[in-house]
Structure 1
């Protein structure tokens, strides 16, 4: 069966395809009849769906309600209708599909870059570290198969930037390369400390987020946040390394705790060393640039040179061509293929 994506749906068409259940709740009509409210998603978007009670099959909705749950894959047959200027799917039949029978990349955005290649590039940078304690600390993470599996798979965020599988690794590699470039201008910066803190700064996101079937916050993510989780992960590894200098441990963990830069943004301490302030600014830059590009993509369906108003960035963002010739006229657009940005679709929060 060929996958039909959400962004291909329009009023009047019949649908027979697999979707992921983002939300499900049992409700009641004014007449007292039960029905199911669903939000169905794939990597291209989401659509509301309704399962109505059947006159010729009393109790149908309640039986169906027990057949599948949130984050289950379901095969849906039905028709697309318009309701209050939005399309919705009226379900004729629905049934659970085994996770092994679907292509996960059809449902969760995936980055373009090969995770194994990014790991090799990151480890090559790590090989240049001279401090033996930092080297052992990074090795403790890099040789942990479970850690590396999650590190290669986790998104960098739920929705704002690099919100796709492999996004955390890509974000981390970007930051390490930018931080190293910045450090060339400041010879007194401890590059070993800078690289270590940058590699480890966001590892708490591996546990803060759930990303097996959709992107959402885990219970520990909501309760603790990735900054605290990451600092604890590093502290536990450091305890296993005999003789690890206490001050060095404090400096590494300080970089994790302070990388958001401000109390209002979630950091419990402000950056207090040059390495930490570099990390904060390259982190902010990478996230903001990706965020801007995401706003541009989300406004690709409207005419003109400006995006819709961004509540996140509190501004309109220019989406016209920025490749201009010296005369000021629009130049020929860059010919290399643009990377298709995969923004998170799980943006209820």
Structure 2
């Protein structure tokens, strides 16, 4: 059976599909005793509201936000929008492909090729050995290529971590040509590695969610731990190079108030922080412009991550 996506639902359709439960609220009837369940369901193409009129208390108790749910419903028009009149909503316990529910970044095949070319371009044999070892591990490589770079702000897509890391590393390669005093290999390697902890910080099911490790440690600490364990497996890895790479991971947010344990203390670390910020902001501005609701307006609505409206004219 062909999967049904949110953006395909039209009033009058019978809906039988699988969606992510984004929001649930138990609300009272206005003019009668009892409650109904209001939900927001979603997939990679968008979201749709739904109402369950019977058995609302029981359904609300057994479902939680983030569940993947099988829904049977009738699509109706309400206040100019599509709404689902739900007949049944049941949690799906089987393994589901997160690509149904979370959009994927574009150009993933090209990003993988760029990653391998950047690693191969390293002249420092210890750095090349370290990155080759790390990215030759099947489980880590697959996780790195699928992970998002964030839960909501920048590159919050399947494969977002790969695209963000490669873009920052390519920018680092270009910047190093203009600053000959910078260690090009160190800067490029640090750029590839700076967010590796995000393979442990996030999991993808119906949405991008933080793991327990992500909540308790965060990607900076997790990334430093991952990197240090990988360095231990490279024979005679220089101690000063180890300390520099670890510092680049723990300082790449740049400021203490941005959860950076240390501020950048040498040139390559400082450049990495700026390049990381550059790519994150470029993605947020471009996505804000592309995703604005009123395409006829030259302005977006308020963009939380940027704390401003964005001009698109």
TM-score using structure 2 length: 0.87
Offset from partner CA, 1:293-327 (integer Å, 9 cap, x none): 1111232424321112323323221112xxxxxxx
Q: Residue 24 of structure 2 contacts residue 40 of structure 2 at CA under 8 Å; is this kept in 1?
A: no
Q: Residue 52 of structure 2 contacts residue 86 of structure 2 at CA under 8 Å; is this kept in 1?
A: yes
Give the structure 2 partner of residue 298 of structure 1. 291
- After superposition, residues 214-293 of structure 1 pair within 5 angstroms as 214-293=207-286
Match of 1:182 among 163, 175, 179: 175
The aligned length equals 311
Match of 1:119 among 106, 112, 119: 112
1:225 Cα shift? Answer: 0.9
Q: Does 1:209 align with 2:202?
A: yes
Give the structure 2 partner of residue 52 of structure 1. 53
Q: Residue 27 of structure 2 contacts residue 38 of structure 2 at CA under 8 Å; is this kept in 1?
A: no
* 1:217–1:69 CA distance, 2 compared to 1 (3 A): closer
Q: How far apart are the structure 2 equivalents of 1:82 and 1:32?
A: 23
Offset from partner CA, 1:107-147 (integer Å, 9 cap, x none): 210122133x4223211221122222212211221110000
Q: How far apart are the structure 2 equivalents of 1:70 and 1:122?
A: 32
Offset from partner CA, 1:193-212 (integer Å, 9 cap, x none): 11111110001111111114
1:27 Cα shift? Answer: 4.2
* 1:129–1:112 CA distance, 2 compared to 1 (3 A): same
CA RMSD, Structure 1 to Structure 2 (Å):
2.8
Offset from partner CA, 1:198-252 (integer Å, 9 cap, x none): 1100011111111144211111111111111111100111122232222111100
Local SS of the residue matching 1:307: strand
1:9 Cα shift? Answer: 5.0
Local SS of the residue matching 2:301: coil
Give the structure 1 partner of residue 71 of structure 2. 75
1:104 Cα shift? Answer: 4.7
Q: How far apart are the structure 2 equivalents of 1:64 and 1:223?
A: 29
Q: Does 1:313 align with 2:306?
A: yes
TM-score using structure 1 length: 0.79
Q: Does 1:62 align with 2:50?
A: no
Give the structure 1 partner of residue 145 of structure 2. 152
1:68 Cα shift? Answer: 9.2
* 1:66–1:113 CA distance, 2 compared to 1 (3 A): same
Give the structure 2 partner of residue 42 of structure 1. 43
1:90 Cα shift? Answer: 2.3
Give the structure 2 partner of residue 16 of structure 1. 15
Give the structure 2 partner of residue 330 of structure 1. none
Q: Does 1:108 align with 2:102?
A: yes
Q: How far apart are the structure 1 equivalents of 2:64 and 2:258?
A: 38
For structure 1, the 5+ residue unaligned runs are 55-59, 321-349
1:4 Cα shift? Answer: 4.4
Q: How far apart are the structure 2 equivalents of 1:210 and 1:194?
A: 28
Structure whose residues are more often helix by fraction: 2
Q: Residue 68 of structure 1 contacts residue 95 of structure 1 at CA under 8 Å; is this kept in 2?
A: no
Q: Residue 201 of structure 1 contacts residue 259 of structure 1 at CA under 8 Å; is this kept in 2?
A: yes
Local SS of the residue matching 1:281: helix
* 1:248–1:9 CA distance, 2 compared to 1 (3 A): same
Q: How far apart are the structure 2 equivalents of 1:27 and 1:67?
A: 12
Offset from partner CA, 1:227-286 (integer Å, 9 cap, x none): 111111001111222322221111001001111111111111111111111111111111
